[in-house]
Structure 1
Amino acid sequence: MNLQFWSKSSLIPTVVSLIMALTGCSLTVPSASNLSPEEVTIRSAHSTWLDEIFQTEVVNIGLEQLGYQIAPVQRLEYPGIYLSLANGNLDYSVIYYSASHNSMFDRAGGDEKIQKLGVLVPIATRGYQIDKKTAEEYGITNLGQLQDESLARLFDWDGDGKANLAGCNPGWGCASIINHHLEVYGLQEKVEQEQGVYEALLNDEITRYQEGKPVLFYAYNPHWISAILRPDIDTIWLEVPFTSLPKNQGLSEAETSFNGKNTGFPGGAQEIVVNPEFAATNPVAKRWLELVEFSLEDMNEISLQIKEGENSPEKISLLAEEWVQENQEQFDRWIAEAKAAGE
């Protein structure tokens, strides 16, 4: 093809189309502060974590009610989402988990390139749990008590004399923290971390619990495990002897304590993150994203429903619609407050 016969005006659309095809991105005109919601198309993304699909669906239901157009939601890995937000290729995402995502957030440009908005899910507890029956029968309240071999053997289900602690997937941050704890609390000869697929490990613990056997596992909120083995009803959180984390994180006991118990892990909230230019030029959407929030209990229940089969995009979309209906009064208040931000 001889480009010398093409005019500039005919060449430009072709070049733009080629760029779009190569990048896989649609080109959008940055929103001006005087544009109405009807003139704005909002782009979002989530990871493969199914709970995030539900959360994004609920957020987008509200944005649609506010008049915004919603682009097809992208599914990306976490680093890619942060970079896309920083570069203006996405407008918002629900995927910021403090403090475990701090490094990805910082590598993408930090606060200069990405803005944190509302807390989508409040700060939650992470740590070690055992069944309440065993805790009360043997007076176990602290992980350090498993230095007592007779107590450790209560949780030994493979016959090697060590307590089996259902831990995390290899490579997860919690796996390295658990190994660090076993070392600094002098438990390496008494407790071993079972690693594998986290969901499968928990299913094994549920089976043992239902058979009346003692269970010992790592847990975090929100997660479906807390809707089955309910903290303070079926299980208890264990304390740790003292706060110690790998890589000299330097956290205090206060930063790893929840409801009067030092669980040994820092808590973390889930927050919405946005492109700063988008937030500055779309005050109605910004206010909406600041307001939306799910309780830990709601997310535990949603997580359980997804685990039990409500796990296709269509079914998760229905879960989102049902959640809105069940929380309609609060949802409508958020909508009214977001609309007021544009007046």
Structure 2
Amino acid sequence: MRVLAVGLALVTVSSCAVRTDQIARDPGVVRMALNGWVGYEASAEVLAYILRTEMGYDVQLIRTDEQPSWQALDQGVLDVIVENWGHDDLMELYGPDGNGTVVDGGPNGNVGGIGWYIPGYVADAYPGITTADGLREHTDIFRTAETGEKGEFLGGAPGFVTQDEGMINAFDLDLEIVFAGSEASQITEVRRRYANEEPVLFYFYDPQWLQEELELVRVDFPPWKPGCDEDLEWIPCDYPQYHMNKIFRTGFVEADEPSYQFLDNWTWTNGQQNDVARMIADEGLDSEEAAAIWVEENRDVWEPWIPEGAAGR
């Protein structure tokens, strides 16, 4: 199968054992994590398409959540995560200061921002609602049958990076988090309410193609400062900005094959990711077809990613 799903069994090794990421592998195969949001899928599919068609690699896209992706790198089951949102705790565990099985691969070019959003028509109808104080005065407009006397805060997937409960506590907001379950389900619900001009308050982020389709306004909280989010139960600040990076299996880096060099060279912009993500999520194209279209139309962008002397050059 082109896209694989895996369940991971943790491996315990003694301090004298071979590093778990050094499991023997076919150098003609690249194993790439496929996390559960369409922007990540856009990046992974474009990279996989070029590796296959221009460089002759077999690419396995392995569908897994964020934390299990790191465990899979540690165990030698994966070679690369192409879009990492923070996870300093996992880098401490598996990186050079931990057991040494993963390496920070540097920026992928995407700049990420997580925040709380409302539609523009809600911001217009309730002046001041885009601040913590204003939101506190108007949480009642977000009440639903499911949340009763509390306003609803619409989350995405439970496994996404989140500090929302700590913000609700710190800013004394009468809100209850309801998880949509996935990015796709959340977008469907937001678009439904937007079409009916219903109030909705929700977790969202950038890069994300829907930001270019709907008029959305981010709620303004005190800016993030180092240490303000240490207590997950009490977070009196906004989310930090994320400069997304790649995470490599250490053994993949040490082998220094053209596949690694290609992924190491790769960076692209939020807009480029959104172009592919929109084709997948909004236009209904198969993800590989969307990648093929982008690759065909942007040769000048991706050709420099291929290392000199690699197949296809």
Amino acid at match of 1:194: V
Shift of 1:121: 4.8
The number of equivalent residue pairs is 281
8 A Cα contact 2:29 2:60, kept in partner: no
Question: 2:155 corresponds to which residue?
Answer: 167
Aligned-pair identity in percent equals: 17
Instruction: Decide which structure has greater helix share.
Output: 1
8 A Cα contact 1:164 1:194, kept in partner: yes
Question: 2:51 corresponds to which residue?
Answer: 63
Amino acid at match of 1:298: Q
Greater gyration radius: 1
Residue 209 (structure 2) pairs with residue 235 (structure 1): no
Task: Note the 1:215-294 alignment, pairs <5 A.
Answer: 215-229=200-214, 234-241=215-222, 243=224, 244-245=228-229, 247=231, 264-282=238-256, 284-294=258-268
Residue 156 (structure 2) pairs with residue 185 (structure 1): no
Change (3 A) 1:88 1:122: same
**Segment drifting more, 297-306 vs 130-139:** 297-306
Residue 134 (structure 2) pairs with residue 145 (structure 1): yes
Measured in 2, the distance between the counterparts of 1:106 and 1:27 equals: 25
Question: 2:10 corresponds to which residue?
Answer: none
Measured in 1, the distance between the counterparts of 2:120 and 2:223 equals: 22
Question: 1:136 corresponds to which residue?
Answer: 124
Measured in 2, the distance between the counterparts of 1:329 and 1:53 equals: 22
Change (3 A) 1:289 1:139: same
Question: 2:32 corresponds to which residue?
Answer: 45
Change (3 A) 1:78 1:132: closer
Measured in 1, the distance between the counterparts of 2:208 and 2:202 equals: 13
Shift of 1:219: 0.6
Change (3 A) 1:94 1:48: closer
TM-score (norm 1): 0.67
SS of residue in 2 equivalent to 1:300 = helix
Cα deviation 1:316-337 (Å, max 9, x = unaligned): 11111111112211112333xx
TM-score (norm 2): 0.72
Which runs of no fewer than 5 residues in structure 1 stay unpaired?
1-24, 30-39, 257-263
Question: 1:210 corresponds to which residue?
Answer: 195
Which runs of no fewer than 5 residues in structure 2 stay unpaired?
1-21
Question: 1:195 corresponds to which residue?
Answer: 179
Measured in 2, the distance between the counterparts of 1:77 and 1:274 equals: 16
Change (3 A) 1:310 1:172: same
**Cα RMSD (Å) of the superposition?**
3.7
SS of residue in 2 equivalent to 1:126 = strand
8 A Cα contact 1:128 1:219, kept in partner: yes
Residue 92 (structure 2) pairs with residue 106 (structure 1): yes
**Which of 290, 297, 307 is 1:326 aligned to?**
297
Amino acid at match of 2:169: E
